[in-house]
Structures are given as structure tokens and as C-alpha cells.
Structure 1
Amino acid sequence: MKSRLLKKLQLTLSGVLLTSVALTASAQTTLRVGSWLPPNHPQNSVVWPTWSKWVEEATEGRVKVEVEYGLGHPKTMFELVEDGVVDASFSYHGYVPGRFKLTQAVEQPLLGASAEAASVAHWRVFEKYFAKAQEHDGLEVIGLFTHGPGQIHMAEPIKSLAELEGKKIRLGGGVQGEIGHRLGVTAVGAPAPKVYEMMQQGVIDGVFIPMGEQKTLRLKEVAKNVIVLPGGMYLGSFAMFMNPDFLADLSDKDRKAIMGVSGEKLSAMAGKAWDEADGAGLAAAKDAGVNITEVKTGDALANEFVALTKGMDEAFLKSVADRNVDAEAALAELRQIARSYDK
């Protein structure tokens, strides 16, 4: 009798142990995403939740994505992911001058394409031409996108670009900096979430930023005058990236699953979300009584801006000459892809 009871106990303990091992093997992994924009911003209300759903479905629930906020200046996101403080994040390339030069290809003025189209072109050209330059060394790039066309948001109205000379304008870096220099503005650096406060306190006279921020950053309350140029002044380049060690620790199956719902698919979705945010921002601005000047191609303001951008392609190509890539071919191909994009 004792022998049978002992054997039964051993079998029970073995079953518990095997169950424990099985549960450990199938334990859910949490992928922590760091974000620096407010929760209501489309990047956090649309892009990350959509990708999170894709990841969880692709990995059959083995990887769950959680977004964390309040981790500091957006430029630190690159380092936080490299160091493993968070597993993934996104940031604006212009916040880290000197490290990211090739990404300015998509920011050059007069592209005349939506953020979705530009984002797809951005990804394809990165894979074909720019990845080998290793500007994102230490990171696994999972997507590239742009915000919508950057426009001019001011506290007081202006009638010409010449009137911007000497004005205190918040610039986020990248091609914005060159445009601001050519306009003769007094550049003020700050992350986008600080713009509302700076406008409210009169620290700056205006900002170059896409229309979506009239709603998401509540600029409709403080920047009551907007000039909308055809195609905008520039596009802003962003990357979404992961810690390579986090990916390496996953099973080959889950690693492939995550990358399968990233890349061009993620880039296009992000660009589209930012496009839609611009439409919502324009509508919110109109509802709030913002004075919006919608400039048409051929108007004096549009021609003034075209003249201002002369030589910027050449300046960009010269700035990336040390990257050892065919930047001229890449720029031409990027424009061809973006302008012919058919979703």
C-alpha cells in the first residue's frame, strides 16, 4: 500500500513539474515601448496599438507590447533602447544632429507626397542604399516614417516669408534647421511637447510643424495663424527601433513573426496615421477659428518658398559625401517611389 501511495505521489509531483516547465516555456514576454508624445497622439493611440495587435497575433500571444511614458527627451530614446532600459521606441532623427544625415533625404522640400507615400519610399531606400552606412548602429530598425508636411504656425499673422526674419521659431532639427537658416529666423530648440508652453509664454513667435499638432498639441489655442504651403515646407524623418539583444533572446519563430509585421508594413501604417492626424488637425483648427492661409501653387508665397530652397539638394548630397553610398541615386529613387505610390 505504501509503495503504491509513494509511486502515486511521485507521479503527481512529476506531473506538476512538467506542467511548471511547460508553463515557463510558454510564458508571455513583455515588449516595453518607450514613448515621449502624449497618450492622445496618433503615434500612441493608433500606431503603437495597431502594431501591438499585429505582434500579439503574429506570435500567438507569446509577446505582449506595453507602452511606457515620461522617459525623458525624445533624443534619449535611441540610447535608452541601446542600453536596454526599454525594448523599443521611436524618435525624430533631427534631434541627434551629426549621427543621422542620410535620413534627411526624405525631408528635402518639394517632395509633394503624403506621409504614407514618403514613409514607404523612406523604408525602401533605406534598405537598398542607406542601411549599410550603419547610422542606426546598435539598434534594430523596425520602421521608418515621416510626419505630414511641416507648415508655419504663428502667434501673429505674416503675409510673406520675409517677415519671418528675426522671429523666434522653434525648430526641431534636420532640414528644418537649414530652412530656418535661409529664412533668417532666430532658432529655438525644444522637443515638440514643449511647444504649447513656449507659445503660451511668448518664448517663441511660432513653430514649423505639421497640421496635426493643432489638435494633438493644442496649438489651436496658442498659434492662431497658420500658413499652409502646397506640399509643406519639409517632411520630418522618424525611426522606430528595437534592442537587438531583446530580439536575439526570442525564439527564431517569434523574432521572424515580429519582423514580418514591421518594416514597410509598419512604415506605411505609421505614415497613414500621421496623414489622418493632419486632416483632423486642420478641421480642429478651423473649428477653433484659427486664421488659415491655404497657399496655392504659383502664388507669391509658394514661389517665395521655391526660390528659398534652391541648392538644397546639392547641400544635402555634399553633407553625406562621407557616408559612402550613392545618395544621388537614392534621392532620385525616393522621389520616384513617393510620387508614384499607389496604396
Structure 2
Amino acid sequence: MVVSPNVYAENHELKIATWLSPMQTMNADVLPTWGKWIEEATQGRVTIKLEYDLAHPKSLVELVEDGAVDAAWTFHGYQPGRFRLTQIAELPGNKSTGEAASVAHWRINEKYFSDSFEYDGVELAGVFVHGPGQVHMREPINSLRDLKDKKIRVGGGISTEIGKLLKVSGVSAPATKAYEMLSQGVADGLFMQMDMMKAARFKDVAPYSYKLPTGLYLGSFGIFISPQFMEKLSEQDRQAIRSVSGEKLSALAGRYWSKADEIGEQDIIKSGSKVENFPAEDIAYFEDLTKGLDSEWIKSVKSRKVDAQAALTEFRQIVDGYQPIEL
């Protein structure tokens, strides 16, 4: 592709396809902060604009790949056939902050997974996790075992596998449809991080929340840029954007999503909804139930030709020893 030198002198607007509420931390904090970093790094030659509800979240990667949108972010679990390696960050038992798991996610992807086809056609700008997924119900329960046969909204990825182990009747739907499903009784509850109980008002339709110390799972997300957009830029501006993306952007997202969980839980309690910790016997039950998930994930990515065991071991080492980075 031949690009006129004059194109490089132009200012460019990076249009980012987004979803969820404008008040949710991704739209209110993460993407605007990244936009400021980009603008500063490119000396104002590249700015961002958020564009809402352009397509279903599961379609956004393809739209970036096709050049139909400049950038987007989405939940990896919406495309389980394509994204399997990303489930390394979702496995239960991570005693970590969202920032630690997000940075570990980026580092492991760069070291072990960068040759995988999973990100073919897009430039990966960052990966991150939301906070621990917990149990939220329309009606109260007494234990994890009470979830058997309940209709539970699951988002995909490891959360779906957790649902199978708990023998729930899984209802697959994006977060944007969950409120309607709960309000109409299509679902009895959902697996979700605390943030969304406030940001998406799920507390109104699922006012009983139950927590495990490290949650049921974490949710893995990616932020993607179109190569066609990057080709419009000078090499200087391409490198400038990369300098404020990657590990730095991953840490930013993980940090903000963790803070949003704290705010969400405080809001639940203040509103009068119930937040309870599962008892010790439920914690032991869950740990026993899920102890085979590591090996199942390793087996599931065998066709990717990566050293999954080494990647998982190092992922947890990074998480355990993580110190917050300066942003």
C-alpha cells in the first residue's frame, strides 16, 4: 500500500466502538485516559472518539479486522472458538488484583502466545480482566449447591464451564441483555463482577449477592486497533500509540475495573441489597469442584502449539509477585 507523505501530516481521529453504559468505568475512565495518553504522545495528531452500540459485542473484533471500525474492545468469551488461550486469565483461584492479572495477561501473551492466530488481522493494544465474578440472585439461596438447575446468565469462557460444574441451567447472553432477562424471569440469577451491579443496575433485579474470596472466575477482555487505521499514521505516531498501550493500558484497565468493583459493592450495600460471603464449606466445595480446570484448559489449547503449562505457571508467579506499575 502506497501512502502519500501528506497523509502523515494530517490529524486523525481514532473511532473506538464501545458498549455498556457511558458511566461504566471502561467508557468513563479507561478509554478517555488512554485517549489523553494518545493525544499527548502524538502531540495532538491523533485523538479518540467513542462510538456506542455499533454492533453486538461479539462482532466487534471482525469489524476491526475488516477496517469497518478503527478500534474496539470486547469480552473474549463471546468468541470461544477463536479465543482459547485468553482463558488462562479467567481460571479460578487467582489471589490477585485486577491490575496484577491484567499485566500478567499481557506479559504472558507477549512471551508465549504472540505467534497464535487468535489476533490475526488486528493489532492488540491491551488485555485485561474484570474483577472476580460472583453470584447474584433474584431470590435468596443458602449455599452454592442451591444453584443446581437454576437458570443463570453466563457470559462465556470459563464462566460457562463453572456453570456446568455447578449444574446450573446456563443462559448465554451478553451483559447488555442480562437486565431484561432477569426482570422478565428468564433467568434466576447471573454470574457477574460487582461493578456491573451498579453500572448496569443489576442490583434492582438481582438484589442478593454471594461472594467467594477469589470469585468464581475472572473475565478476559481485549482492546484492538485496525491495522488499516495504523497504516494511515506516520511510523512516529504508530510507535507513540504503542508506547501508551500494551502493558501500560492493560494495567490501567485492570486498576480501574478493580476500583469500580469496590464502588459497586458499596453501592449495593447502601441501596439495601444483601451481600453475603459463602461459608467455609462452600469455599471448599468450590475448590474441589474446580480443581481439574487447569488441566482441562491446558488440554483445550493443545492445538495452539504453545507451552500452556509453563505459561500458566509463570502467569501465577507474576500475579503473586506483582507490584503496581507507575501510570
The TM-score, its normalising length taken from structure 1, stands at: 0.91
2:197 is equivalent to residue 197 of structure 1: no
Letter in structure 2 aligned against 1:156: E
CA distance in 1 between counterparts of 2:235 and 2:292 reads 47
Cα distance, 1:22 vs structure 2: 11
Letter in structure 2 aligned against 1:245: Q
CA distance in 1 between counterparts of 2:259 and 2:21 reads 17
2:309 is equivalent to residue 328 of structure 1: yes
Deviations 1:128-168 (A, max 9, x none): 00111121111100100000000001111111111111110
2:106 is equivalent to residue 117 of structure 1: no
2:260 is equivalent to residue 277 of structure 1: yes
CA distance in 2 between counterparts of 1:244 and 1:25 reads 15
Matches within 5 A, 1:37-48: 37-48=20-31
Q: Secondary structure at the match of 2:127?
A: strand
In structure 1, the gaps of 5 or more residues are 1-20
Q: What RMSD in Å do the two structures reach over aligned CA positions? A: 1.4
Equivalent residue, structure 1, for 2:295: 314
Cα distance, 1:38 vs structure 2: 1.5
CA contact (8 A) 2:209 2:275 kept: yes
Number of aligned residue pairs? 321
Deviations 1:276-295 (A, max 9, x none): 00001000000111111124
Cα distance, 1:300 vs structure 2: 1.2
Deviations 1:12-39 (A, max 9, x none): xxxxxxxxx9997643111100002121
In structure 2, the gaps of 5 or more residues are none
- More deviation, 287-296/265-274: 287-296
The TM-score, its normalising length taken from structure 2, stands at: 0.96
Q: Identity across aligned pairs (percent)?
A: 50
Say which of 132, 153, 158 aligns to 1:175: 158
Deviations 1:49-98 (A, max 9, x none): 00000000000000110010011210000011111111001010100011
CA contact (8 A) 1:146 1:238 kept: yes
CA distance in 1 between counterparts of 2:284 and 2:7 reads 64
- More deviation, 152-161/251-260: 152-161
Say which of 58, 63, 68 aligns to 2:51: 68
Cα distance, 1:198 vs structure 2: 1.1
CA contact (8 A) 1:220 1:284 kept: no
CA contact (8 A) 1:35 1:68 kept: yes
CA distance in 1 between counterparts of 2:181 and 2:321 reads 39
Q: Secondary structure at the match of 2:35?
A: helix
The 4+ residue runs of structure 1 with deviation greater than 3 A are 21-26
Say which of 300, 306, 311 aligns to 2:281: 300
2:217 is equivalent to residue 217 of structure 1: no
- More deviation, 286-295/143-152: 286-295
State the structure with more CA Rg.
1
CA contact (8 A) 1:119 1:268 kept: yes
Q: Secondary structure at the match of 1:111?
A: coil
CA distance in 2 between counterparts of 1:26 and 1:97 reads 40
2:89 is equivalent to residue 99 of structure 1: no
